Structure 1
Amino acid sequence: MRQHADISDGVNEYGLAAQKLTFSNQSDYASEGEAGKIQLAAFEFLLWLLGNCRSIEEVRQKIDTVQLMTDENSTFKFGRNDLHFSATDSSGQMINIEPHGGRLIISNNSIGVVTNAPKFEREVEKLTTYMDLNILTEPSVKNNNPNQISTGSFNGKPVFPGGFTPTSRFIRAAIYKERAIYPKNEQQNIIEAWHILNGVTVPKSEGRSGTYTVYRSAVEVTSRRLYLQTYEDLSVQVYRFPEEL
């Protein structure tokens, strides 16, 4: 029987939000502990991150103090969890965290979207088939909508894919996000986020894989509220994480 605390995503009292995602056959964990570092199973990493960091900058500063381990030399056998992670805060920065060579590698995510494997760089490369990314050619470009990452022109581009593979959902989410209005307040922000999620939600299907969108969530990092909707419930629950928690 597996006995451990496990979370998939969350926000702490400082407005740092993070999530874990599947990273099938891509994770590279350490089997031998390194002196002076904290050894964790992959499923424990979010608990450590949200419990020990207040911002993306602190994540950058502390990431090298942690190792994600296999259970090869562990008394408690927890199996293999192929995971990678993303995090964001009120500064607007978003990062991906991937385990490679026994280390946790941080990369900036200026797209603002992340899904399961394959690797992020490959997803961005495929995205360029469907939109021209100004963040790749003109990183200093500013406009009235900081969510925008493209030139705004989709002329001559193919219709985006409609499947449920990680890459198809990545492309759709990026395009929906690009076309969304810039929200004026928290309520509008969550409404826009939910409409984007509608386009990438995986429904249950008879006779096929049991994989589906078990729940959907969105975090407002300024107010530290987490919005949650399970598959079987049309209502949205709100969980508040006050600063004085």
Structure 2
Amino acid sequence: MFGCSSLSINTTDKKTLFARTMDFTMEPDSKVVIVPRKYGIRLLEEKNEVTISNPYAFIGMGSTDLASPVLYDGVNEKGLMGAMLYYATFATYSDKPKEGTRGINPIYVVSQVLGSCVTVDDVVEKLGAFTLLTEANNILGFAPPLHYTFTDATGETIVIEPDRTGITIHRQTIGVMTNSPGYEWHQTNLRAYIGVTPHPPQDITMGNLKLTPFGQGAGGLGLPGDFTPSARFLRVAYWKKYTEQAKNETEGVTAMFHILSSVNIPKGVVLNKEGKTDYTIYTSAMCAQSKNYYFKLYDNSRISAISLFAEDLDSHDLITFEWDRKQDIKQLNVKS
């Protein structure tokens, strides 16, 4: 399983934020990567594949182990944000490019989009020129089944899913995404839970017996607590709707980490068929206006932040930040 959950929110001071979890059974050699302007992003892993110049710099979590940087998520200098998430058994790729398009490896989609797009309209137009191919990569050894979500500075969020009928683009979304099945199914499934609310149920009387809730939170009874994609989608959607709207970026980032804590997976509670543990390797958040990238790790729950504009965005080289896995605990007293 390559899990993951994502959401977007807006603050009262008109900041747009996007966040995601990364759930997996293995840890690729990942780091925070800043890709400077005009660095050049490949479409495929083929030896003679040319690179496409990226007019915009961007920052996110990813790997530099392949011919081009592979970003799992990120934000660019124009405020476009996005991520790739697993789409097992549903993602459908082609063996060769369709007429009038160029082939692209699915793992390069996020990097290509962040490097050249400003709005979700740009994303839709750009992806129309590509065909997602079944080209494997050296990190996983196969072409991972993926779907994508992007949010621009206006707060509009789209979901892009390569299905058997072609690339499906969902424009009217609630700004939440997890994994399979498709987005339309998740959105329909929400209708079964519209009675779940933060409000306590009313007391009732049965004969001479008055029945009252055991305690606070009874309005949420029925919200599933497992780690399936459908259950995680419901919890993130519920928390997003009812969490108090943040006033600013800092409050927004704090809120998003709280919301995604509802779907964080500790080691050992979800196992795959081989007995390996799926867990939340990292959680990230980013802001379209400030271009700040925030993240915390499974082993270090302190939130770290990196600003895109604090670096030379016309550099000829990638700028990377390694993970600090040591748990950062603030000691408030010292034994004398």
Q: How far did residue 20 of structure 1 move? A: 0.3
Contact 1:38 1:66 in 2 (8 A): yes
In the other structure, the counterpart of 2:261 is 198
2:225 to 162, 167, 184: 162
C-alpha displacement at 1:107, in angstroms? 0.7
Q: Deviations over 1:107-128 (max 9, x none)?
A: 1253111001111111112221
Deviations 1:146-185 (A, max 9, x none): xxxx998796875200101111111001111111111111
Larger Rg: 2
Question: Hey, what does 2:90 align to over in structure 1?
Answer: 26
Shift of residue 101, structure 1, vs aligned partner: 3.9
The CA deviation at 1:23 is 0.3
- Runs of 4+ residues deviating >3 angstroms: 150-158, 206-209
Matched AA of 1:233? N
Alignment of 1:108 onto 2:198:
no
Closer, same or farther in 2 for the Cα pair 1:152/1:58, shift >3 Å? farther
The gaps in structure 1 that reach 5 residues or longer are: 133-149
- TM alignment of 1:77-88, pairs within 5 A: 79-88=142-151
Counting strand residues as a fraction of each chain, which structure ranks higher?
2
Task: Provide the C-alpha distance between the structure 1 equivalents of 2:194 and 2:71, rounded to a whole number of angstroms.
Answer: 34
The equivalent of 1:224 in structure 2 is: 291
- Structure 2 spans left out of the alignment, 5+ residues: 1-44, 46-64, 202-218, 314-336
Instruction: Give the secondary-structure state (helix, strand or coil) at the position aligned to 1:228.
Output: strand
* Structure-1 residue corresponding to 2:80: 16
Change (3 A) 1:45 1:191: same
The question of whether the paired residues in 2 share the 8 Å contact of 1:23 and 1:83 is answered with: yes
| 1:64 counterpart = 2:128 | yes
Distance 1:71 1:176 in 2: 37
Residue in 2 that maps onto 1:6 = 70
CA distance in 1, matches of 2:270, 2:81: 36
Give 1:184's aligned amino acid.
K
The answer to whether the 8 A contact 2:236-2:263 is kept is yes
Residue identity over aligned pairs, in percent, reads 29
Specify the SS of the correspondent of 1:25.
Answer: coil
CA contact (8 A) 1:68 1:102 kept: no
User: Which residue does 2:15 correspond to in 1?
Assistant: none
What is the CA–CA distance in structure 2 between the aligned matches of 1:42 and 1:126, rounded to whole Å? Answer: 28
TM-score normalised by structure 1 residue count: 0.82
AA in 2 matched with 1:21:
L
Match of 2:105 among 13, 24, 41: 41
Distance 1:210 1:78 in 2: 20
Using the size of structure 2 for normalisation, the TM-score is 0.61
Query: Relative to 1, partners in 2 of residues 1:158 and 1:190: Cα closer, same or farther, differing over 3 Å?
Result: same
Residues 214 and 231 in structure 1, CA contact (< 8 A), matched pair in contact too: yes
Higher mean C-alpha deviation, range 31-40 or range 50-59:
31-40
From 215, 228, 232, the counterpart of 2:282 = 215
Q: Secondary structure at the match of 1:81?
A: coil
Does the 8 Å contact 2:270/2:279 carry over to 1? Answer: no
How many residues are treated as equivalent by the alignment?
224
